[in-house]
Amino acid sequence: MAGRVVEVPEYEIVESVEVPAREAAVIVVDMQNDFVKPEGKLFVPTAPATVEPIRRLLSRARSAGARVFYTQDTHYDGDPEFTIWGEHVKHGTWGWQIIDELKPQPGDIVVQKTRYDGFYGTPLDDLLRVYSVKYTVIVGTVANICVLHTAASAALRWYKVVVPVDGISALTEFDLHATLRQISWLYKGIVVRSVDGIRFT
């Protein structure tokens, strides 16, 4: 079947947004070796470019008192997802580990997940509520898969979703913009041009 060219409908990108730090959490989605490193089993070519922006965002978030969560995609022998993507982020392997450049710090929380959605079958929602979080700043990979499903679940639970364009990565440019359009239009999230436009107050 021949491919065809389609346009992503317009969506709003803002230059800056203020987020109350004490009601905010940054959720770093699946920044693991298998996805971010060229030798990884499911390397996303645009993921390395997001590492430094995410690092800057985390530094400011922690300094301001915002919570930091990581999702860690996790699979075991015989996982049905291997029939879709091949073996990846297998528990305990190098590929499963969160990249050293964004290594979780004391006080951060790592949530292991077995599906695309960071909320599915995990304590993430409960933990966000324990810490009175209302705003979720979501970064990571892969945009139209784990990032989008996690953002959707956050929005469906009435968390306000903020996503910086330079903080997420995708396998294709279409996937990136389709994701941002969906978050902006359907989930009423805030798409920010850069992590540097997110101000924790």
Q: Nearest 5°: CA angle at 182, between 121 and 8?
A: 145
Contact 96, 89 (CB under 8 A): yes
175 is catalytic: no
**Residue of 37, 73, 117, 146 marked catalytic:** 146
30 is catalytic: yes
**Residue of 37, 73, 113, 160 marked catalytic:** 113
How many beta carbons lie within 10 A of that of residue 49, not counting itself?
Answer: 10
Place of tokens 């800056």: 16
Place of tokens 């390395």: 48
146 is catalytic: yes
Q: Nearest 5°: CA angle at 162, between 131 and 188?
A: 110
Closest CA to 144 of 186, 98, 177: 177
Q: And the tokens for 14?
A: 């803002």
Distance CA 72, CA 67 (A): 16
Q: And the tokens for 115?
A: 């599906």
What residues act catalytically?
Answer: 30, 113, 146
